[in-house]
Amino acid sequence: MNIALLGYGKMGQLIEKIATQSGHSIIYIANSKHSVDDIDFSKIDVAIDFSTPTTAFKNISTTLAQAVPVVSGTTGWLDKMEDINQLTTKNNTAFLYASNFSVGVNLFFELNKKLKSIMDSHPQYKTHIREIHHTEKLDAPSGTALSLQSQIDKNTPIDSERIKGVPGTHFVEYTSDIDTISISHEAHNRNGFAKGALMAAEWIVNKKGIFKMSDVLKL
């Protein structure tokens, strides 16, 4: 599989390492020095986007315009998601966005939805989300926290904390005057995110449509 990396920060570099170990080829890397406009898309099977909130839309839209499927994990640009969905359909290609590609986090999403369905009949509990990430993370709250919130209630408060060296930790808490019920997910490193993104890229080649990580994992 020939891959274009859109963005070459820590995630992009880790995906390059894991993809190469898996026998795939990184054909092009778009970053601050090399524009997405310079890619020869005829040689690309799929693009993986882990760029920045300010560059993601251009990277993704330029790639989709060439009918090349895109897997994106960049957060902070989702106000333009409908434009990307329309472009995907127009060019008869494929797009998959995930706020988090970790298999464990996507299982955590399913657990979050299940707990919410149980707690709906117990209104004495108030919900609260906490997330902790490394200091290099550019957006807050995290995309994962926003996904958790969307599964519960848009008014659920989110507290964000940035601590050096923390890959990502999320807590969902239900608190009453009597007690607290909580679930959490803690990433030990970035490997799960990179492996999940590569899994999604392998899965989406030759598909058409707009997908989620739950489609890849058949959840």
Nearest to 197 by CA among 83, 62, 46: 46
Q: Which of 133, 170, 185, 195 is catalytic?
A: 133
Q: What residue ranges in the chain does DSSP mark as E strands? A: 2-6, 25-30, 46-49, 70-72, 94-97, 126-133, 158-162, 169-175, 180-186, 209-211
Our answer to whether residue 133 is catalytic in this structure is yes
Active site residue 208: no
Spatial strand order of the sheet with 180-186 comes to: 158-162, 126-133, 169-175, 180-186
Catalytic residue among 24, 90, 134, 137: 137
Closest CA relative to residue 81, chosen from 105, 67, 64, 66 = 64
Active site residues: 133, 137
